[in-house]
Structure 1
Amino acid sequence: MRPKARLLAPLILAALPAYAQAQETTGPKPPCGGDFGAWVNGVKSEAAALGHAPQTVNAFFSSVRPDDAVLRADRAQGVFQRDFIDFSRRLISENRIANGRANADKYDAVFDRIEADYGVPRGVLLAFWAFETDYGAVQGDFNTANALATLAHDCRRPELFRPQLLAAIELYAQGGMDPAATTGAWAGEIGQVQMLPADILENGMDGDGDGRVDLKGSPSDALLSGGKMLSSLGWRPNEPWLQEIALPQGIDLTLTGLDHKMTVAEWKALGVTPRSGDLGADSLPASVLLPMGRGGPAFLAYPNFDVYFEWNQSLVYVTTAAYFATRLEGAPVYDAGNPAPGLSGEEMVRLQERLQARGHDVGGADGILGEKTREAVQAEQIRLGLPADAWPTRALLDAL
């Protein structure tokens, strides 16, 4: 792997927190903040109410400490401010492709089982395996129990992390983790494809037949568990997920974007063609995704692409992972085109603030071009009479 890719690997581990973002609840926030010891006692009481023996709970928390490094990692995700071309070129190297294909051969029987049981193609799991941990080589060195407790105590997202902390206690009670020794990503994910405790409890699989689920040491266990996870998130067997396309001149750009879906037959009728292979079945709903506007790469996103957002909420990560999966399945390198220059992180923040001032929900002014920001950008482009490709430019920033 290129040095840049290795330097980026820990940042990908920091992607909050993979598919578990979809598990956030909408009720009042659970108790958070204040004295850490007093807060831990509250979690212990809740765990006891769920049926855990006091000695189990006390043993779990005996080594748990808050970790400021976790909070620093949580607040520092600037890597996702990069655009698709920059991000994908940093993550996808010939070495990663070669290692992916070698692992596809090495674990051929495992991938055959996953494809038969869950309908998830090997390229999809290989891409996640590569990006999450570089095929198991970089799994993270944060103490998992400390990370979950720190994030559950922090008042930014306790509704997400407190249930995962309670799930970690259950995982410990079942012999699935050691709170003093188990390590992983800063957000509490464990193993080669980075799964949170609740998801391990629900989807952990023994893929190598040794009678236990070891997501850190066993690629077979990790891959099979990841396949089951994707299936539980709604993966549709024997259907595509993302495909590079060529757009006809003059296509109505207001039809593009993940919030606009038409059937493949309707896209064909408008002149959309694949760059390689055949488009999906005519009846499949699909969206045209222009990650860098009308001048950059163009993709058709199928229903399975939506499942990627259950794994990770970052649009640039999701698009790159889905595209890399197609490469591992034999697709060519995308046509980068000649996109208009994008915005810097500071400019993106200013744009998001101006969009919010106009009443758009962009999910916060964080400098990251997510789908909510893209939808707001497209709406303003339409209002201002600019090309409505959802790609924010300085011309749009100035116009606002």
Structure 2
Amino acid sequence: MTASPDHNHLVSAEAIGVDIAALAALTEPDRPWTRRSFTPMFDRGRDWLRAAFAGAGLTTGIDAAGNLIGRRAGSGAGCGTILLGSHTDTVPDGGRFDGVAGVAAALEVVRALDRAGVVLRHDLAVVDFLAEEVSGFGVSCIGSRAMAGIMPADWLERRWQDRSLAEAIAAVGGMPEALGRPLSAPLAGPLRAFLELHIEQGTILESEGTAIGLVRAIAGITRIEIIVEGRPDHAGTTPMDGRNDALVSAAPLVEAVRHEAARPREGRHFTGTVGEFEVFPNAANVIPGRVRLLIDARAERRSDMEAFIAWAKALAAGVPGASARVISDNPPVPMDADLLAVLAEAADAAGVSHRPLTSGAGHDAAHVARLGPAAMVFVPSRGGRSHCPEEWTEIDQIADGAEAIARAVIELDRR
């Protein structure tokens, strides 16, 4: 692609805005913006999206995982598929852009290529992944994990509202009995590239005035549990110098975690949060006998996480009665360098400023990356707000990201 900016954009910001507004209107009454997976409101959103896919000339289908996919056939037999998209389910009282922006942008890319008369050799598909957000079944990224063949089999037995997850997947058109291996249908041929647009859910792009972020990695997420054992006694009769108060021992650990997580790591993304803190027996007149902390740590580089795990275990070992254990540990997922380079060239050609970023949140792209090259484009979030009614991204900003993706699709197809 030419390096000189071409400001004759392919995509229509207005069309993206219309789609986002239509889905935003489908929300639980008095709960903006709530469209949780496996609910009637989510089904209504899927019905709308299926019609929108058909209106854009896409052939629609549901794969075994319950993902809704619209396909635009390419001219070259066996070339494989370029996949775009995100998710349309929300958290309770969440935002209207999280996930939805990526699906709306992908849909507009298809229409833009049609308007420009672009014929691709590859199939181009748009996906709405099932249940990216934590569902009523207590798990997330159901559709993308299942597509990649890595969803734990016992998840299908989880229950919510008197039905199993297997029954819920079947109800949206999936085939839970076929899960347990990587899926391809209704895609045609191998996955050549997956591109996902998403709101940043942070403040970097807005604060710098940069149009889009090219995500170099999705941070690994590790959860570390620390238990501090003390001795419960009467709060009014036990002398102050004769206590074994678990809370007094545990309280400094919270600040220690924050201090260690904030230590400079040469620009590499790292966060650490004590997100759960439980005191037992949690009674006003009882000296705390036990405290539980759960640390959520996220790292762009695996070596940083391994060092933090060792630090947390050493921290606990230095506190009488304390112990630490890792209860979940997911490595970081780097995005494909070649796709990122193509996206950068596409953004330059469109006159769209960009910078590298790391995603501190999990996304479907982390799981799809097991099937083929994957990359993400972030667009700014006002004030970094997300998962709340105040979440906001300007439609023109979403269009900037969609423009980069549209041009990248053309270049990827050529290559």
TM-score, length basis structure 1: 0.28
Question: Higher RCO, 1 or 2 (CA under 8 Å, sep at least 6)?
Answer: 2
Name the structure where strand makes up a greater proportion of residues.
2
Rg comparison, structure with higher value: 2
Name the structure where helix makes up a greater proportion of residues.
1
